[in-house]
Structures are given as structure tokens and as C-alpha cells.
């Protein structure tokens, strides 16, 4: 009961530095606005969950959200426009103008099959906007299979017949370190609560610790030069060649 209340409390704070995963959400809306505003034609969102990109698309875009049946109905309680398997897309070849694959590829046991399918359904010159985690804890277990470096993504793009036209490493090393430390300490506190460990009293000071880490990391990162040593995610735009 206490665990559920803590989760609900922190969920309401996700847009503030009081949330352990604040850095993971910090740039989400800005990235969606930047990537989606200019898209036109048919836009396929694979692993769409709550279909957040739909709100950022312009009038010239037609959105189609696709998700796996068990994931949508069993995990998220959502209903996509199309139920389907990312490794066997129920779409005609060359029928899609843009594909969104945001924090999905790591959850697929056969990621190369998904990329091949995206290559198939995209029209020539069509774009794939992809984001994957890099330094980030295990999540959505047991369906968390992979992590890629920038160079691994370059190789995957080449193998699947894509050209990378834009890429970014998301998260200064100081921000990534704060993010991981916040998640680790929050998980430890939840475990203590569950096991009725006296250390669970630390939960009282957890928001202060999280806030301190987030603010200090944000300020120091802003005062430092950019550094792609340890991003928590990569975001890229690939074009079908």
C-alpha cells in the first residue's frame, strides 16, 4: 500500500526535479515537438503506448499507432489504431512516409527483424525517428533485451539500408549519473519498505536527496562543455536509401 502511494506521488512530480527520473522526462516534449511538427503524410508510431506523438503532429500528418496486443492490453491498458508485431508489420511495402520507434527497439527480441520491416514499409526517402536507452537501468522486465552504443546504431542502420542524417546523445554524464543514482536509491527505499526494514525511514528524506542531485547535476552540466561519454539515450533520424 505504501509502495503504491509513493509511486503515485512521484508520478505526479515527474515534470519537476523532485522526481527520480526527471532527466528522462526533461527533454521529452521538446524532442517530440522538434521531430514531429514538420512531418507530413502517413506517420506510423510503433510501440505507441499512450500515443503522445500524435499531439505534436501538424495538420498535414495522418497518425497510425501500432502496438503489440499483450503489451497494450496487459501492461498499459491502451488501445492502438492497429495491433501488430513490430517484426511482422501488417502493412504494405512502401506505404509509410515516417516511422517513430521511440524507446521500443530494446524491448524486441529480434531488433534486426523490426528494422528490416520498417525499411520495407517505408517509401524511398522515408524517415525513421528512433530513440533507444544507453546508460539506463533494466525496465519493463522481462522484456528488456538490448543496449546500443552510437557505433552499434550506426552498424544497425547500415545493415538495414538506412542513412543517418541526424543524431544526438541525450544527457550530459553528470545528468546521467544523477538519474541512475536517483533510480537506484529510490528502488532501495522501496525494497526496504516492502521488507519492513528500519532503513525505510530514509524515505522521508528521499525527495530532498533526489532534488539535490537533480539540481546540482543540472547546474554543473550547464556550466560544463558538452560530453557524449555517458548519455542515458540516443536519438537519431534515419532515411531509407
For position 108, which CATH number holds?
A: 3.40.50.150
Statement to judge: residues 196 and 129 lie in one domain: no
Higher pLDDT, 4 or 187: 187
Any domain includes 85: yes
Contact 105, 128 (CB under 8 A): no
83-110 in b/e burial notation, b at 16+ Cβ within 10 A?
ebbbbebebeeeebbbbbbbbbbbbbee
Contact 117, 76 (CB under 8 A): no
Any domain includes 11: yes
Does residue 6 carry a pLDDT above 60?
A: no
Statement to judge: residues 220 and 109 lie in one domain: no
Statement to judge: residues 180 and 149 lie in one domain: no
Check residue 13 and give its pLDDT. Answer: 83
pTM: 0.93
Statement to judge: residues 184 and 155 lie in one domain: no
- Beta-carbon contacts of residue 104 (< 8 Å; ≥ 6 apart): 46, 47, 86
Does residue 125 carry a pLDDT above 70?
A: yes
| Cell 520491416 belongs to residue | 117
Amino acid at each position: 500500500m505504501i509502495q503504491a502511494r509513493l509511486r503515485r506521488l512521484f508520478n505526479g512530480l515527474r515534470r519537476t526535479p523532485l522526481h527520480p527520473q526527471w532527466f528522462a522526462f526533461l527533454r521529452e516534449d521538446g524532442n517530440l515537438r522538434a521531430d514531429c511538427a514538420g512531418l507530413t503524410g502517413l506517420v506510423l508510431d510503433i510501440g505507441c503506448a499512450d500515443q503522445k506523438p500524435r499531439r505534436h503532429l501538424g495538420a498535414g500528418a495522418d497518425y497510425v499507432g501500432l502496438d503489440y496486443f499483450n503489451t497494450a492490453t496487459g501492461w498499459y491498458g491502451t488501445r492502438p489504431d492497429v495491433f501488430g508485431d513490430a517484426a511482422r508489420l501488417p502493412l504494405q511495402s512502401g506505404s509509410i512516409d515516417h516511422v517513430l520507434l521511440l524507446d521500443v527497439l530494446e524491448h524486441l527480441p529480434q531488433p534486426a527483424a523490426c528494422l528490416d520491416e520498417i525499411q520495407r514499409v517505408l517509401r524511398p526517402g522515408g524517415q525513421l525517428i528512433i530513440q533507444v536507452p544507453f546508460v539506463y537501468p533494466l525496465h519493463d522486465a522481462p522484456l528488456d533485451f538490448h543496449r546500443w552504443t552510437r557505433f552499434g546504431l550506426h552498424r544497425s542502420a547500415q545493415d538495414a539500408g538506412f542513412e543517418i542524417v541526424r543524431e544526438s546523445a541525450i544527457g550530459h554524464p553528470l545528468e546521467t549519473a544523477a538519474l541512475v543514482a536517483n533510480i537506484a536509491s529510490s528502488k532501495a527505499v522501496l525494497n526496504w519498505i516492502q521488507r519492513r526494514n528500519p532503513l525505510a525511514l530514509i524515505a522521508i528524506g528521499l525527495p530532498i536527496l533526489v532534488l539535490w542531485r537533480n539540481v546540482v547535476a543540472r547546474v554543473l552540466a550547464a556550466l560544463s562543455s558538452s560530453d557524449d561519454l555517458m548519455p542515458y539515450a540516443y536519438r537519431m533520424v534515419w532515411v531509407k536509401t
